[in-house]
């Protein structure tokens, strides 16, 4: 405060010196001078105090701004660091969970796939077509039976074509159905068996004197659409 008062006094002296140099100027009363000086001094003091307060306020504001800037800079960094750590932890957890899930899926035993066999289509069974026989087949049957009969030694078989199935005084053992049989070979075997029966019957005498020869014939005929075969003898 004293410094400001001295400064004011110096300024007044300097003003008076300048005024004296330019010419004499009546001096105001001492009371007015002192009052004006005090007023100016107080005004300057208040201005100085105001400027000092403003400087201190600005300094405090700058300090607060610096501190706030440091805090702001540090806080986001800390927040970002915390967020990064959280994201890293979350990613690690998710990765571990994914790995566990993958391992669980990999180690899961898959049930064997069973293949159902396709249904077998049902087919309607039909009778195979009847074989067609020709005269060559008939001649082959007769020849096979004759060769077997005429090879006999116990009884001599003599071929006699005029013996017929429905003729008088003839004998036979059975008839064989070629149409409904298993085939030509089946008929040949059946007729050979009838030759053997005839041989046994004739050799035994037929209830009388045993014979050493017999007349025979192999005949075929149609009966209700079937081809029948028979060995007749007499």
Neighbours of 174 (CB within 10 A): 12
pTM of the model: 0.46
Number of domains into which the chain is organized: 2
**Complete edge-to-edge strand list for the sheet that includes strand 213-223:** 156-159, 213-223, 226-233, 171-177
Determine, yes or no, domain membership for 153.
yes
Determine, yes or no, domain membership for 116.
no
Q: Which of 75, 101, 127 is the last residue of a domain?
A: 101
What would the pLDDT profile of 82-113 be if each residue is shown by its tens digit?
Answer: 444 455 555 455 554 554 444 444 444 565 56
Determine, yes or no, domain membership for 27.
yes
Contact status, residue 155 vs residue 209, Cβ threshold 8 Å: no
What would the pLDDT profile of 135-166 be if each residue is shown by its tens digit?
Answer: 999 999 999 999 999 999 999 999 999 999 98
Determine, yes or no, domain membership for 181.
yes
Same domain, 23 and 95: yes
d(Cα 35, Cα 31) in Å, to the nearest integer? Answer: 6
Per the structure, the complete domain to which residue 60 belongs is given by 2-101
Which stretches of the chain score pLDDT less than 50?
23-26, 29-33, 37-38, 41, 66, 68-85, 91, 96, 99-108
Q: Which of 52, 80, 101 is the last residue of a domain?
A: 101
Return the pLDDT at 12.
Answer: 78
Determine, yes or no, domain membership for 122.
no
């Amino acid at each position: 405060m004293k410094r400001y008062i001295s400064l004011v006094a110096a300024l007044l002296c300097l003003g008076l010196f300048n005024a004296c140099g330019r010419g004499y100027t009546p001096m105001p009363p001492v009371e007015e001078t002192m009052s004006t000086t005090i007023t100016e001094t107080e005004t300057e003091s208040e201005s100085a105090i105001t400027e000092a307060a403003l400087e201190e306020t600005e300094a405090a504001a700058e300090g607060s701004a610096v501190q706030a800037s440091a805090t702001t800079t540090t806080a986001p960094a800390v927040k970002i660091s915390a967020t990064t750590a959280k994201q890293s932890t979350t990613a690690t957890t998710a990765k571990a969970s994914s790995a566990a899930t993958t391992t669980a899926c990999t180690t899961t035993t898959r049930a064997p796939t069973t293949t159902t066999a396709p249904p077998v289509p049902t087919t309607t069974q039909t009778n195979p077509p009847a074989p067609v026989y020709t005269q060559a087949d008939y001649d082959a049957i007769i020849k096979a039976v004759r060769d077997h009969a005429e090879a006999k030694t116990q009884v001599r078989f003599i071929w006699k074509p005029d013996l017929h199935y429905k003729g008088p005084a003839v004998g036979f053992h059975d008839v064989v159905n070629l149409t409904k049989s298993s085939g030509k070979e089946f008929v040949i075997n059946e007729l050979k068996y009838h030759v053997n029966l005839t041989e046994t019957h004739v050799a035994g005498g037929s209830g009388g004197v045993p014979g050493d020869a017999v007349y025979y014939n192999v005949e075929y005929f149609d009966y209700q659409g079937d081809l029948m075969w028979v060995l007749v003898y007499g």
